[in-house]
């Protein structure tokens, strides 16, 4: 590896992208930060990213367009990159399929076109939930094992990762990092964006939905955003060690029973009843609960059914150790942070939640 | 000292003569109130024998009565004393967790009067300079004074005026003890404080302390209590105490470890350390549900007032007293007030509730809207019994349905057995409502009604009749059904199960039944309680459908039908 590198980071303004960018510039490298609509990079702690000692070069683009929608000058600049880190993706649930195809599939294809032209080594950020709806252990070297994706997001990420594998077969040096459900920082619980599981927590703890389909032993894996960023940045910086590997960036396994027991520790929180999916009927919910169920909980229903464990042998060997904190302790940190900043614990609104929801894994 | 050297040596000789001969030479000191220059004719004589070796000498003292005085003789080796001082130094970093007995032992030795083996005594006293001990004891007392004052600030804001005044006084003692300790007056026992203050040479401090300590604010007068608190705070600040102010905004309401909230229907249950269950009345429950960890105490009170009505302070005070919440001082950790040389601090446990019967399907009984009642059952048995109560009610419903079907078809033996099943299920519900768990075998239920209050005697009598009933004709069948309905009503009225939804009446009632079942299942799972697992499993596999009328069941077992025994 050269002493300093130039790294093109797509989705650099996103939760993971900004943290990866911060780590790369902190290590002295130049980051070409591909930005779509946002112009400012904000770190997970809410502060603007101050690059250094490396350099940050914002580049406006759109991964849904061929050539990433770059100007000729920016395209020339992008070709100087020593690495590409592809973080850009839509991660919200419940969007039209075309949206997933456009950003997650076509976007990845366009990034691969750029990478293959070099060829430029690529770190592709996927999701651990490409494993689809299944129980048991999901291994890092597995991809398409005939699984059924849980939603359009998972389908698109599976397709995108398949494209990446195909490019690797053509000789492109590739590393795939698969985060699970990205949540707050390991030590503080702090999070910049209350997406992924956060709206679900809000709906449950306010008692806006009191019954939900799910197995008490279903497992959700919550990974601190700093752990994901460490692993992605590490893969870019130590690419020789990571090349050809798929790394599960996973964190704390929490069952629905864990969620139930920990939520019960907070006097003001309502604890949802998890009813076996076979015994659950959304139409039987009180009218007041139905909109919240349909707009938030139903989008996450697939994750309340799975009893999946992510093997992270390769990630651990690479140096991406899981945090030593226990899962329940970590969940408390997330909840405490939400209470501190008023995301949770405020009185329920009069009207159902806004139409836009963000129930997604990475 | 109130005793002369000769008198002390005489007492020591007389005391040692009563003990088995010592195996080795020991140094001896007198410690305690007399050695400190206090004491009176009834004060104990405390000797410490110091062995030069590194053996483990027994901690338990020998108690003697010599010349009309109570004499206590302790033994310690030099090695044990060295360990003692090392541990003290280590613990001194956190005065809040510094062991009181350890501090007391070290203090008494450093301030002891040598009687024999002066060289060895000097040697062990060099293990810690007296100035260092003064600092440690001063910090230790200051920590307690700070906690007591914060406690008083909280109590005052919670409307517990008189309790606040008592903690003001406790804080006064602790503050002055801290100040005195910094001046070398380290003896821990507060009994001799007045003499310590006399010796400290600051009559102004002594007099102001005495004035504040003897002030009696008008009972129940928050303004007077606040004035007293402010005066105590000013006095404490003047003596150098930091980290406390009369500002309740500095107090935050926090979660207590191991405390969880479980609601069944409208009843709020709070489970402490998986062992005790508190049932909250409606108002108490509303206040509890409004508590958001991390909020300041005044803000929490304002929110509680909105949800639970006026004056929620006593309720929050009860939650705090029972260890269901913590109060923390911003930047100062959990508020933990304690009186040294008294009971250790910690949550109080109230006497168990006497509401009878203690359980219903909707939750534990409460004594009123402001109740924070301790359920008279351990948590796991509470969960198991209520679960059994829910199942029993469902089985009664199911059996009555089956009985109707059997009578329609003239299946007399089937009807007879089904009627008995209904009686047994109703009795199981009755036993469960009184917290009996595990339940007696069905055939023992009637015999074991001696476990229940005398008021249930009519139920026992009628159950006996029904269990002996023969059904062999339509007339007898209809009569049995009517009597059974009356019996079930009587049991439900007694057990308080009338609030239970008649789960077969409508889809809504059935859903309410399922929800209640899930609520209890959730608590049972949390407590790892003994649950009627098969029944629970059936509930979970019930596909949300209602049990069917007789003759229309899709299949027995796990397809939508409550289990029957």
Domains and CATH numbers, chain A: 6-182+222-251 (3.40.50.720), 185-221+253-307+324-340 (no CATH)
Cα–Cα dist B116/B336, whole Å:
42
Question: Per-residue pLDDT for B44 more than 60?
Answer: yes
Query: Which of B265, B287, B288, B293 is the mutation pick for testing A, counting most A CBs within 10 A?
Result: B293
For residue B140, give the CATH number of its domain. Answer: 1.20.120.330
Of the CA atoms within 13 Å of residue B318, those in its CB half-sphere come to 19
Q: What is the mean pLDDT of residues B495-522?
A: 70
Give DSSP secondary structure letters for B179-198. Answer: HHHHTT-----GGGHHHHHH
User: Could you tell me if residue B348 is inside a domain?
Assistant: yes
User: Could you tell me if residue B234 is inside a domain?
Assistant: yes
Whether residue B368 is found in the same domain as residue B394 = no
* Domain-ending residue, one of B246, B278, B310: B246
Whether residue B260 is found in the same domain as residue B357 = yes
Q: Which residues pair with B47 in a beta bridge?
A: B30, B73
B249: helix, strand or coil: helix
Q: Give me A117's structure tokens.
A: 């032209």
Does the distance separating the beta carbons of A339 and B294 come in below 8 Å? yes
Question: Per-residue pLDDT for B506 more than 80?
Answer: no
CA dihedral for A155, A157, A161, A163, sign (positive or negative): positive
User: Could you tell me if residue B546 is inside a domain?
Assistant: no
Phi, psi of A111 (to 5 degrees): -65, -40
User: Measured between CA atoms, how close is A223 to chain B, in angstroms?
Assistant: 24
pLDDT tens-digit series, residues B292-343: 999 999 999 999 988 877 789 999 999 999 999 999 999 999 999 988 777 7
Instruction: Evaluate whether A156 touches A91 at the Cβ level (below 8 Å).
Output: no
Question: Per-residue pLDDT for B557 more than 50?
Answer: no
First to last CA, chain A: 29
Does the distance separating the beta carbons of B293 and A266 come in below 8 Å? yes
Give the DSSP letter of residue B296: B
In the prediction, which pLDDT does B552 show? 33
**If pLDDT is split at 50, 70 and 90, which confidence band does B398 have?**
confident
Secondary structure (H, E, C), chain A: CCCCCEEEEECCCCHHHHHHHHHHHHCCCEEEEEECCCCCCECCCCCECCCCCCCEEEEECCCCCHHHHCCHHHHHHHCCCCEEEECCCCCCCCCCHHHHHHHHHHHHHHHHHHHHHCCCCEEEECCHHHHCCCCEEECCCCCCCCCCCCCHHHHHHHHHHHHHHHHHHCCCCEEEEEECEEECCCCCCCCCCCCCCHHHHHHHHCCCCCEEECCCCCEEEEEEHHHHHHHHHHHHHCHHHHCCCEEEECCEEEEHHHHHHHHCCCCCCCCCEEECHHHCCHHHCCCCCHHHHHHHHHHHHHHHCCCEEECCHHHHHHCCCCCCCCHHHHHHHHHHHHHHCCCCCCCCCCCCCCCCCCCCCC
Query: Which of B252, B254, B259, B261 is the mutation pick for testing A, counting most A CBs within 10 A?
Result: B261
Q: How many CB atoms lie within 10 A of CB A266?
A: 23
Whether residue B196 is found in the same domain as residue B120 = no
Whether residue B28 is found in the same domain as residue B108 = yes
Q: What is the mean pLDDT of residues B150-169?
A: 96
Residues of chain A positioned with their CB less than 8 A from the CB of B284: none
Instruction: Evaluate whether A142 touches A134 at the Cβ level (below 8 Å).
Output: no
Cα–Cα dist A43/A20, whole Å:
10
Residues of chain A positioned with their CB less than 8 A from the CB of B261: 264-267, 269, 271
User: Could you tell me if residue B106 is inside a domain?
Assistant: yes
Whether residue B451 is found in the same domain as residue B370 = no
User: Could you tell me if residue B30 is inside a domain?
Assistant: yes
Model ipTM?
A: 0.87
In the prediction, which pLDDT does B1 show? 78
* Domain-ending residue, one of B374, B405, B425: B374
For residue B69, give the CATH number of its domain. Answer: 3.30.460.10
Does the distance separating the beta carbons of A278 and B260 come in below 8 Å? no
Whether residue B291 is found in the same domain as residue B430 = no
Whether residue B183 is found in the same domain as residue B146 = yes
Cα–Cα dist A266/B288, whole Å:
10
User: Could you tell me if residue B297 is inside a domain?
Assistant: yes
User: Measured between CA atoms, how close is B422 to chain A, in angstroms?
Assistant: 27
User: Could you tell me if residue B213 is inside a domain?
Assistant: yes
pTM of the complete model: 0.88
Give the residue from chain A lying closest to B518, CA to CA.
A273
In chain B, what are the helix, strand and coil shares in percent, each to the nearest 5?
55, 10, 35
Does the distance separating the beta carbons of B518 and A264 come in below 8 Å? no
Ranges under pLDDT 70 in chain A? 1-2, 346-362
Question: Per-residue pLDDT for B535 more than 70?
Answer: no
Cα–Cα dist B541/A276, whole Å:
7
User: Measured between CA atoms, how close is A277 to chain B, in angstroms?
Assistant: 8
In the prediction, which pLDDT does A360 show? 44
Cα–Cα dist B299/B342, whole Å:
33
Whether residue B407 is found in the same domain as residue B473 = yes
Domain of B192? 136-246
At which residue do the structure tokens 């302070």 appear? B313
User: Measured between CA atoms, how close is A69 to chain B, in angstroms?
Assistant: 47
Q: What is the mean pLDDT of residues B137-164?
A: 96
Whether residue B94 is found in the same domain as residue B219 = no
User: Measured between CA atoms, how close is B289 to chain A, in angstroms?
Assistant: 4
Whether residue B259 is found in the same domain as residue B238 = no
To the nearest 10°, report the CA torsion of A334, A342, B265, B546.
-70
Cα–Cα dist B184/A65, whole Å:
81
In the prediction, which pLDDT does A277 show? 86
Query: Which of B256, B260, B269, B525 is the mutation pick for testing A, counting most A CBs within 10 A?
Result: B260
User: Could you tell me if residue B557 is inside a domain?
Assistant: no
Does the distance separating the beta carbons of B525 and A257 come in below 8 Å? yes
* Domain-ending residue, one of B231, B246, B261: B246
Number of domains chain B is built from? 4
Give DSSP secondary structure letters for B413-430. Answer: HHHHHHHHHHHHHHHHHH
Does the distance separating the beta carbons of B288 and A267 come in below 8 Å? yes
Mean pLDDT of chain B: 88
In the prediction, which pLDDT does A281 show? 86
Number of Cβ pairs < 8 A linking chain A and chain B: 76
Question: Between these two residues, B40 and A361, which has the higher pLDDT value?
Answer: B40
User: Measured between CA atoms, how close is B374 to chain A, in angstroms?
Assistant: 17
**If pLDDT is split at 50, 70 and 90, which confidence band does B536 have?**
low
Question: Per-residue pLDDT for B201 more than 70?
Answer: yes
In the prediction, which pLDDT does B537 show? 54
Does the distance separating the beta carbons of A264 and B293 come in below 8 Å? no
Question: Between these two residues, B197 and B394, which has the higher pLDDT value?
Answer: B197
Whether residue B274 is found in the same domain as residue B325 = yes
pLDDT tens-digit series, residues B329-351: 999 999 999 887 777 778 999 99
Q: Which residues of A touch B (CB under 8 A)?
A: 210-211, 216, 257, 260-261, 264-271, 273-276, 278-281, 284, 336, 339-340, 345
In the prediction, which pLDDT does B125 show? 94
Question: Per-residue pLDDT for B547 more than 70?
Answer: no
Whether residue B530 is found in the same domain as residue B437 = yes
**If pLDDT is split at 50, 70 and 90, which confidence band does B521 have?**
confident
By Cβ distance, the residue of A261, A270, A279 closest to B526 is A261
């Amino acid at each position: 590896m050269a002493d300093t590198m130039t790294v093109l980071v797509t989705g650099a303004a996103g939760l993971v992208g900004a943290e990866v960018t911060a780590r790369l510039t902190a290590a002295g490298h130049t980051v070409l930060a591909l930005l779509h609509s946002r112009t400012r990079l904000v770190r997970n702690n809410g502060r603007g990213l101050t690059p250094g000692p490396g350099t940050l070069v914002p580049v406006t683009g759109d991964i849904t367009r061929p050539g990433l929608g770059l100007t000729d000058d920016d395209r020339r600049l992008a070709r100087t990159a020593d690495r590409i880190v592809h973080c850009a993706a839509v991660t919200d649930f419940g969007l039209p399929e075309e949206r997933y195809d456009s950003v997650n599939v076509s976007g990845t294809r366009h990034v691969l076109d750029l990478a293959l032209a070099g060829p430029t080594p690529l770190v592709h950020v996927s999701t651990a939930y490409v494993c689809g709806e299944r129980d048991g252990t999901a291994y890092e070297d597995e991809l398409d094992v005939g699984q059924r994706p849980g939603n359009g997001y998972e389908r698109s990420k599976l397709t995108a990762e398949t494209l990446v594998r195909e490019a690797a077969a053509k000789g492109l040096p590739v590393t795939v990092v698969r985060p699970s459900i990205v949540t707050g920082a390991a030590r503080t619980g702090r999070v910049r964006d209350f997406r992924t599981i956060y709206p679900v927590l809000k709906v449950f703890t306010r008692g806006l939905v009191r019954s939900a389909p799910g197995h008490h032993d279903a497992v959700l894996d919550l990974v601190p955003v700093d752990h994901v960023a460490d692993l992605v940045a590490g893969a870019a910086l130590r690419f020789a060690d990571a090349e050809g590997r798929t790394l599960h960036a996973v964190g704390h396994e929490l069952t629905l029973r864990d969620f139930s027991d920990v939520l019960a520790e907070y006097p003001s929180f309502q604890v949802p009843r998890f009813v076996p999916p076979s015994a659950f009927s959304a139409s039987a919910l009180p009218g007041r609960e139905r909109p919240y169920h349909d707009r938030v909980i139903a989008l996450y229903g697939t994750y309340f059914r799975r009893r999946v464990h992510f093997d992270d042998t390769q990630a651990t060997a690479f140096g991406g150790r899981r945090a030593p904190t226990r899962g329940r302790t970590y969940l408390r940190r997330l909840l405490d942070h939400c209470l501190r900043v008023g995301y949770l614990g405020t009185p329920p609104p009069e009207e159902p939640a806004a139409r836009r929801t963000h129930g997604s894994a990475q | 000292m109130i005793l002369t050297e000769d008198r002390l040596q005489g007492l020591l000789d007389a005391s040692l003569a009563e003990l088995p001969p010592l195996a080795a030479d020991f140094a001896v000191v007198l410690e305690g109130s007399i050695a400190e220059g206090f004491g009176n004719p009834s004060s104990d004589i405390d000797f410490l024998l110091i062995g030069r070796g590194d053996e483990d000498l027994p901690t338990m003292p020998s108690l003697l009565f010599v010349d009309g005085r109570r004499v206590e003789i302790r033994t310690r080796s030099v090695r044990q004393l060295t360990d003692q001082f090392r541990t003290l130094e280590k613990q001194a970093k956190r005065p809040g967790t510094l062991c009181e007995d350890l501090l007391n032992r070290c203090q008494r030795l450093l301030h002891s009067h040598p009687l024999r083996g002066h060289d060895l005594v000097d040697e062990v006293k060099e293990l810690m300079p007296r100035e260092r001990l003064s600092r440690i004891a001063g910090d230790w007392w200051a920590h307690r004074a700070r906690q007591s004052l914060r406690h008083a600030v909280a109590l005052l804001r919670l409307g517990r005026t008189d309790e606040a005044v008592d903690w003001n006084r406790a804080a006064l003692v602790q503050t002055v003890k801290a100040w005195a300790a910094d001046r070398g007056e380290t003896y821990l026992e507060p009994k001799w404080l007045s003499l310590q203050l006399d010796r400290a040479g600051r009559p102004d401090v002594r007099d102001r302390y005495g004035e504040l300590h003897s002030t009696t604010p008008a009972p129940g007068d928050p303004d007077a209590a606040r004035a007293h608190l402010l005066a105590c705070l000013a006095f404490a600040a003047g003596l150098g105490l930091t980290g406390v102010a009369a500002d309740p905004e500095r107090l935050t309401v926090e979660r207590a470890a191991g405390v969880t909230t479980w609601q069944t229907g409208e009843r709020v249950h709070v489970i402490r350390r998986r062992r005790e269950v508190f049932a909250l009345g409606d108002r108490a429950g509303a206040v509890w549900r409004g508590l958001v960890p991390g909020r300041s105490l005044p803000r929490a009170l304002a929110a509680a007032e909105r949800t639970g009505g006026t004056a929620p302070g006593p309720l929050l005070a009860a939650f705090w007293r029972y260890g269901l919440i913590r109060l923390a001082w911003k930047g100062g950790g959990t508020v933990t007030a304690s009186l040294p040389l008294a009971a250790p601090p910690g949550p109080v446990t109230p006497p168990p509730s006497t509401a009878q019967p203690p359980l219903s399907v909707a939750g534990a009984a409460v004594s009123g809207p402001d109740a924070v009642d301790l359920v008279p059952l351990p948590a796991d048995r509470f969960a198991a019994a209520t679960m059994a109560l829910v199942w029993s009610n469902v089985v009664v419903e199911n059996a009555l349905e089956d009985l109707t079907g059997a009578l329609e078809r003239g299946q007399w033996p089937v009807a007879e057995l089904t009627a008995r099943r209904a009686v047994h299920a109703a009795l199981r519900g009755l036993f469960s409502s009184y917290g009996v768990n595990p339940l007696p075998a069905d055939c023992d239920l009637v015999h074991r009604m001696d476990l229940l209050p005398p008021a249930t005697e009519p139920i026992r009598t009628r159950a006996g009749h029904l269990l002996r009933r023969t059904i062999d004709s339509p007339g007898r069948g209809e009569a049995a059904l009517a009597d059974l309905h009356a019996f079930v009503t009587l049991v439900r009225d007694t057990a308080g199960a009338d609030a239970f939804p008649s789960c077969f009446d409508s889809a809504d009632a059935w859903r309410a039944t399922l929800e209640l079942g899930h609520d209890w299942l959730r608590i049972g799972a949390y407590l790892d309680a003994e649950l009627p697992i098969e029944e629970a499993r059936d509930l979970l596999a019930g596909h949300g459908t209602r049990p069917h009328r007789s003759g229309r069941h899709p299949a027995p077992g796990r397809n939508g039908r409550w289990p029957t025994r």
